[in-house]
Amino acid sequence: MKLKGKKILVTGAGGFIGSHLVESLIASGACVKALVFYNRDNDWGNLEALSSEIKSNIEVILGDIRDPDFCMKIVKDIDIIFHLAALIGIPYSYLSPRSYIDTNVSGTMNVCQAALENNCEKIVHTSTSEVYGSAQYMPIDEAHPLQPQSPYSASKIGADSIALSYYYSFNLPLTIVRPFNVFGPRQSLRAVIPTIIGQALSQGEVKLGSLFPKRDYTFVKDTVQAFIKAAENKESIGKVFNIGTNREVSIGEIAEKIITLLGKEIEIYEDEKRVRPEKSEVNRLLCNNKLALDILNWEAKFSFEVGLEQTIDWMRNNLAQIKAGGYII
């Protein structure tokens, strides 16, 4: 199934991954309806960064997936849904766990119910590697046990379960894409790579939490291709796909790579307020992407170093608009 000419809804379209996905879908010839969280200023989030030509081909809708009636209206006549709308920050989930349940779990149910009642051809639901918690074995495949080590990860486990229940109970044609750590241009300072780059560009030091956790980082353009391949592939229905590179790197190593690429002498400090609770910190996440390779014919094309260079270039050109100093949860 090719996406050209298909009527597609992207929830969370104003976010980091969502904006890149919308960009790729428009380039492929799809008809895109982009859902952005309602705000009084009609702010389209990261969609604002797209070219005027691309924006002129997007139907932007402002609203809230927590409203089931609203979801039912916007899904009418839609062929394919990419569901990315979610609350994502782990530190903020310590402060406001109920909001994560309302948005990530109840919101996902609303989207799935709307997709079911409107006979959508396919829904691609977005998960996260954080659902695995601290690895019990490496690399992590889709059969790895799930462990909710933060309210955020608990809410995503709940969202994934709700989504799969609609496949098993009602035959909703649904696929779950489970990205490991995604990075690239337009990512907010709530993520570690833009945090490091922003501080390194604007200050003479970099403050971080623990330097030891290791993650599997995938460049955003590669991640978007995984979403598209999952939507196009009929064999993907009812399955969960890990999306990663099968390579891990520590936060300390990332900071050193970024500082080297910038050609600066910058000190790295541990900031106690950025350190996560001991039982909540996930120390290693390394992806086994064999299922995505075998069924979706997907693998990462961008190296970590090339992705870092593109991210640094984007942040250097947009530094005036970025609050790079303080700790953003």
pLDDT of residue 327: 55
> Tokens in use for 253?
């190593």
Inside any domain, residue 214: no
The reply to whether 84 falls in a domain is yes
Q: What is the pTM for the complete model shown?
A: 0.93
49-94 per-position pLDDT tens digit: 999 999 999 999 999 999 999 999 999 999 999 999 999 988 899 9
In whole numbers, what is the pLDDT of the chain averaged over residues? 93
Contact 86, 107 (CB under 8 A): yes
Q: Note the pLDDT tens digit of each residue in 136-166.
A: 999 999 999 999 999 999 999 999 999 999 9
265 part of a folded domain: no
Q: Is residue 328 assigned to a domain? A: no
pLDDT at residue 274, as a whole number: 58
What is the predicted pLDDT for the residue at 322?
67
Q: What is the pLDDT of residue 194?
A: 92
Q: What's the burial of 219, exposed, middle or buried (CB within 10 Å: 0-12/13-18/19+)?
A: buried
Structure tokens at 277: 């609770």
Cα separation, 228 vs 280, in Å, equals 32
Q: Give bridge partners of residue 55 from the DSSP assignment.
A: none
> Is 109 contained in some domain?
yes
So what's the pLDDT on residue 6? 98
> Domain containing 296: what range?
7-183+219-246+286-301
Q: Which of 265, 263, 268, 266 is nearest to 250 (CA)?
A: 268
Beta strand residue intervals within the chain, DSSP E: 7-11, 31-37, 58-63, 80-83, 122-126, 174-179, 181-183, 205-208, 214-215, 217-219, 240-243, 249-250, 267-270
CATH code of the domain covering residue 228: 3.40.50.720
Q: What is the pLDDT, as a whole number, of residue 106?
A: 98
Whether residue 198 lies inside any domain: the answer is no
Does 42 fall in a domain? yes
Query: Which residues make Cβ contacts (< 8 Å) with residue 6, sequence separation at least 6?
Result: 30, 31, 79, 80, 121
Q: Decide if 188 is inside a domain.
A: no
**Count of domains in the chain?**
1
Q: What pLDDT does residue 324 have? A: 56
Which positions of the chain have pLDDT values less than 70? 271-276, 278-281, 322-329
- Bridging pattern class, strands 249-250 and 214-215: antiparallel
